[in-house]
Structure 1
């Protein structure tokens, strides 16, 4: 799939607190490496907890870039994993290196703006507000309520049959 851009300061916080001022630059670098490894581990656990099955899942974070790799059963699982990682505060770019067993059409992606609802987004993409459940289902389990989306969040918009 390639590179995906996200809004760095939107989403769920995954990084710990960094020290404000350190005298030794090497201490800062070590601290950042520890925080990045912890964030990658937390994201991996989240993907597993959401039951997004990706064999040999690996996540590497360097500053605000996350690289995700592994083997997903289908395109939807791949896209959801990318969204879990990218919709995390502190991540600006996701380099998707996941391969897929069963190739399917790729979904479109949409960044939520202020005032959006799933109904408005469904109207934009499907010309029908009542198709919002399709978007909701396509973004489960990351979305638990169709009324709880936020500005800056990236959503999957699946292709209709």
Structure 2
């Protein structure tokens, strides 16, 4: 558990444009939290008691609930964080079947999964391990973008 940092200008655009009448901060926060919950569920990530709150003042998402395993927990955290206007994710998730935690990598210009696998595993041929750890958020190994945060599982 802890805080994960993200780049708030990068990520999925879930919050839409501002309505004509200015909503209250509570309404903005609830709408954002609901959008993130819907996005996590759309990724078919299983979590018991999923709770998401968003604080627009700090651009922080807090995620609670119980994930079945460490890999699912990590996917939930990056799904919640790789959203435009999210700067931090406060990880309050528990795990039914704990395992060693993954590392996280923030994509920079020029990165690809081969280079990232070489950095973390010493072999670019292990790039599919990173791709699989980040599906279903990644639809293609060639579609990563600067600012995106990826899960890097422990050495295979």
TM bucket by the smaller chain? over 0.9
- Give the 5 Å matches for 1:81-96: 81-96=76-91
Q: CA deviation at 1:19?
A: 6.3
Partner secondary structure for residue 113 of structure 1: coil
| TM-score, reference length from structure 2 | 0.93
Name which of structure 1's ranges 32-41 and 87-96 shifts more when overlaid on structure 2: 32-41
Q: Which structure has the larger Rg over C-alpha atoms?
A: 1
> Is contact 1:73–1:100 with CA below 8 Å preserved after alignment?
yes
Query: Counterpart of 2:9?
Result: 9
Offset, 1:13: 1.1
Alignment length (residue pairs)? 154
Give 1:79's match in structure 2, choosing from 74, 80, 83. 74
Decide which of 38, 41, 62 is 1:45's aligned counterpart: 38
Superposition deviation, residue 33 in structure 1:
2.3
Could you list the structure 1 runs, at least 4 aligned residues long, displaced by more than 3 angstroms after superposition. none
List runs of 5+ in structure 2 lacking aligned partners.
none
Alignment counterpart, residue 98 of structure 2, candidates 83, 98, 103: 103
Does the CA contact (< 8 Å) of 2:63 and 2:92 recur in 1? yes
Q: What whole-Å deviation, never above 9, does each CA across 1:102-159 have from its counterpart, x for those lacking one?
A: 1100001100000000000001011111110000000000001000000000000101
> Who is 2:63 aligned against?
68
Query: Distance in 2 between the 1:100 and 1:19 partners?
Result: 38
* 2:15–2:35 CA contact under 8 A, matched in 1: no
Q: Give the Å deviation of 1:160.
A: 2.3
Q: Secondary structure at the match of 2:99?
A: coil
